[in-house]
A and B are shown apart, each in its own frame.
Chain A
Amino acid sequence: MSDAMLPALYRVERMIKENEETFTLELEPAGAARKGAVFYGGQFNMLYVFGVGEIPVSISGDPRDTRRVAHTTRAVGTVTRAMRRLKRGDLVGVRGPFGNRWPLEEAEGKDVVVMAGGIGLAPLRPALVEILARRKKYRKVVLLYGARAPEDVLYREELERWSGRADIDVRVTVDRATRKWKGHVGVVTLLVPKASFDPLHTVAMVCGPEVMMRFAVQALRKRGVDGGRIYLSMERNMKCAVGFCGHCQYGPHFICKDGPVFRFSAVEWLFGKREI
């Protein structure tokens, strides 16, 4: 039995309710001797709830924290609903990290546009945290984030903190506003023309529902960002996370090991085709 298929035990250190459906689990390796795995923004873990099942969840914490690993997910299925009931001290099984990472090296010396839709902000958060930690390596940094409604906005405190910084342009929009909402209303792609960045020297990182990513790519290209410098995080059913089970195939790609982050120009011929 290879280690890649065997869950390691992690303990729930903190359970943060982000909103009605969404929560963040902060985990630490169980047992004093165990070291946490090094991970990079863009990667994912397979999380197992005892007696319930296992699902892939992107890593959304700070990659520099080598002990604690955070996962933000929505309670929409059997496993995630059981996960939401976990409390501090409970154990979960963790396999990973798997997959590739956001192109933070390639983005050095360039403008960075991060576009997220809904829960798509979760896998981008480690990239943002790292970019801000090494802020001097990048030129302009823009975060364009769309949520369904104000109460769905994730990592609210952090976003407010970032909004207060002069070195990152944070723009948040919601599909349906309430009276208290003072920000943008409408789909996230409408923010693209408003943001200030140099399209010829920009690396864009996009994550959200496929339809959102399709329009995000359109808007970015319309501004002049080349498809070779737009990166998407793709999602498909995953069971093994190491390329054996076949579930996550997307054309010739295994999302689990060739992705989940893909250069748009590499998947353009598949992107938007139905039921691939």
Chain B
Amino acid sequence: MTATTLTALSEQLERGELSSVEATRDYLGRIEAHNAALNAIITVTAEQALADAAAADARRAAGEAGPLTGIPLLHKDIFCTNGVRTSCGSRMLDNFLPPYDATVVARLKAAGAVMLGKTNLDEFAMGSSNETSYYGPARNPWDLRRVPGGSSGGSAAAVAAGFAPAATGTDTGGSIRQPAAFCGITGLKPTYGRVSRLGMVAFASSLDQGGPMAATAEDCAMLLQVMAGFDPADSTSAEYEVDDYSGGLAADLSGLKIGLPGEYFGEGLDAGIETALRAALAEYKALGAELVEISLPRTHLAVPAYYVIAPAEASTNLSRFDGVRYGYRCDAPEDLLDLYTRTREEGFGDEVKRRILVGTYALSAGYYDAYYRKAQQIRRLIQQDFLDAFDSVDVIMGPITPHPAWVLGEKTDDPVAMYLEDIYTLGVNLAGLPGMSIPAGFADGLPVGLQLIGPHFSEARLLNIAHRFQLATDWHTRRPTL
């Protein structure tokens, strides 16, 4: 029987109880059986995966194995994979076969991981529900009528459903943490610049960050160890030493100061979620932590600032999709303008087009100061709120979302309502901080995530704080029945 965590699987492989080929077959079998219902994976690379698994087994036999050698995993379909379709959940890139690997993909490959396929996502990562995907929405394995969250919904659903022990995700405004919360798994959004963005198709360059999604903090630590690090090909990559993420997991939490922002526990937070979170916080108290009331006074401004900055950056990041060098091109363009406007009309979905238009508007002459510049100023104020808070606490905790996973279609007609669901996660991206979601109970039978936010480059500490909780609780071991 294949283990349910990355850490346990790594030990099984190490002990020779299981081969990588066997584990890979096992996961591929589960994908085969259940992906039709979940739609979590867009592209399955079964043949290549089995070949890579066999090669990994051979390396292990030759005594050249590392902790990730032969570990099957999934990549969000926004990380470029050499020769394997990278669609970004868009018709625009439905035929796109990148001639290169993203740095994250290359690092995991070099560490011996075996790619099983590419997971579903909101189109170009723009969405909080996975419903904007050209390939149709992924579904929440806890309740197939509900969304798995987004944009890394496919990765979260796949890990929760046992399609793989881990997956990569990206988080621009909560896209790792929110689906991790909705699907009951652990997800880490690292400090901006900690993980290379090269080959990760850009949504909003100053906010995007790749990170691991897995069952436990321990698993995330193993993945992040490989994913993190300076990349000279990404100018925004941090030249900052990578910590030993696994080494400090067990450290004691006594004296830990946990800040609880009043703004995160106020009006609008679902009662069931609050109950679960209060219980989780009580657990931390039992582990020796101290709970401190704090304030992040500009929390309410995160949504407006984010929904200017992210669309503005996206509007120009997506200009390269013009039907000239790769990707979708409209049929029989009459002239150059027709090539552009029809390719982009037909290639992009509604939400992406809306955001491009909002972003174009925010940057256009006469509006730049009132929108883009203003949002960047507010961004600094929001970052300052966090930095001030970290003067007195070690970590900030709160909800990931105001409500648990909603029913498919419930919010699609009201983009603003959907945007407001991101209120607790956006600040972390605006400030460039690391954030995590860890399973912390259930509300109405649906998973609840607890958010952990730390100072810049405090990933090791966050993972330690998450791991100690997971040693004391078993929420992270709960799995949906498929």
A in complex with B: no
A interface list, Cβ under 8 A from B: none
